[in-house]
Structure 1
């Protein structure tokens, strides 16, 4: 694989795993991009645009999106702090307690949702609250432990929904809504928090 193809493949994976990109289809003829103050991205596209064309458009504009996000996130920040203890300052016992909390929540919701789970890892991620691999391995940002429990539950449900849909399609969000009816409200609340680096 050439360097160019590797770079494009990496860009596509970044986009597919980005929880903060919202796709809106309409009767419009042109494509539009908007980066909001919270760093989320809204992409407005024509109804008939194919997934391949959408991916090509997003990969082409990824550098612009990253630049705008960087600008937005480095403006005067008025978002809420997670008040999390610094990750390096956590004791082994505290890290174990945090992981145990996520393991129990993942076990509870995975049983309800009828999906399997692989390994669960707790990290100090700089840009994400959580992620799910194609093998079912889950990563969660430890800072969620210090936030309202309903937000932690939302992220767990969100990542488990990826066990059925590895994208952010309408079917994916319908799956999230099935187990978290007020997910829109929780998602908006989550966006008010800033990650402590």
Structure 2
């Protein structure tokens, strides 16, 4: 449900937490996660209090979103996989609908109408093994083990850590360079210790990835380009 304070539209969800968190999502929407006991008036008060920060963040989002790339599902178009661009080739004689072979993506011509869904499934299937492997490596450094790891559609978030200790990752993470994927994984593992972005949380991230600020900035600047965008539907998927 969308609410509005002055000229700021926002949504919120409630959680068993002590503090509120405010986000400008990757689609430019404003959302909050708040303690269960907060009333709507109190939530609106938080939005008013953070109005200047929201305006600055929305202006920054508009600039960063300029990096979005419109991709067409035609031979020669490039698609990202672990930070590198590979060309798409439309073929007629393929046993599988979409495969990655010899440094390029191959898709059956009669499956072009489902290209977006096929790419999503490719990233999901590859992500299950890759993210689990990288998480196994870093969880020893962080000292935290998730109950489960899933790769799925997360709307406008790269990843999430649930109160139950599960980690969810957006399939789009598999389009990012490995160093950025590692940052997203470490970020969520550290949330198993600290659910909010406190100084203690960032100190924990810093212990594992001393250059996390550089990786965070890369994702901030280039995140909009990590997408499958059909020329006829230039929206985040």
Relative to the length of structure 1, the TM-score reads 0.63
Structure with greater Cα Rg = 2
Q: Determine the structure 1 residue equivalent to 2:156.
A: 127
Contact 1:11 1:59 (8 Å CA) reproduced: no
Cα distance, 1:90 vs structure 2: 3.5
Relative to the length of structure 2, the TM-score reads 0.54
- Structure having the higher helix fraction is 1
Q: Secondary structure at the match of 1:116?
A: coil
Q: Determine the structure 2 residue equivalent to 1:186.
A: 215
Q: Secondary structure at the match of 1:167?
A: coil
User: Is residue 21 of structure 2 the alignment partner of residue 16 of structure 1?
Assistant: yes
Which structure 1 residue ranges, 5 or more long, are not aligned?
1-6, 22-37, 42-53
- Structure having the higher strand fraction is 2
User: Is residue 104 of structure 2 the alignment partner of residue 99 of structure 1?
Assistant: no
Distance in structure 2 (CA, Å) of the matches to 1:88 and 1:139: 19
Contact 2:124 2:152 (8 Å CA) reproduced: no
TM-align CA RMSD: 4.3
Mapping for residues 50-65 of structure 1, pairs under 5 Å: 57-60=45-48
Mapping for residues 60-139 of structure 1, pairs under 5 Å: 60=48, 73=61, 77-79=65-67, 81=69, 83-84=79-80, 88-90=117-119, 95-139=124-168
Residues 65-74 or 99-108, more deviating:
65-74
Which structure 2 residue ranges, 5 or more long, are not aligned?
1-9, 31-41, 70-77, 82-114, 228-236
Contact 2:123 2:172 (8 Å CA) reproduced: no
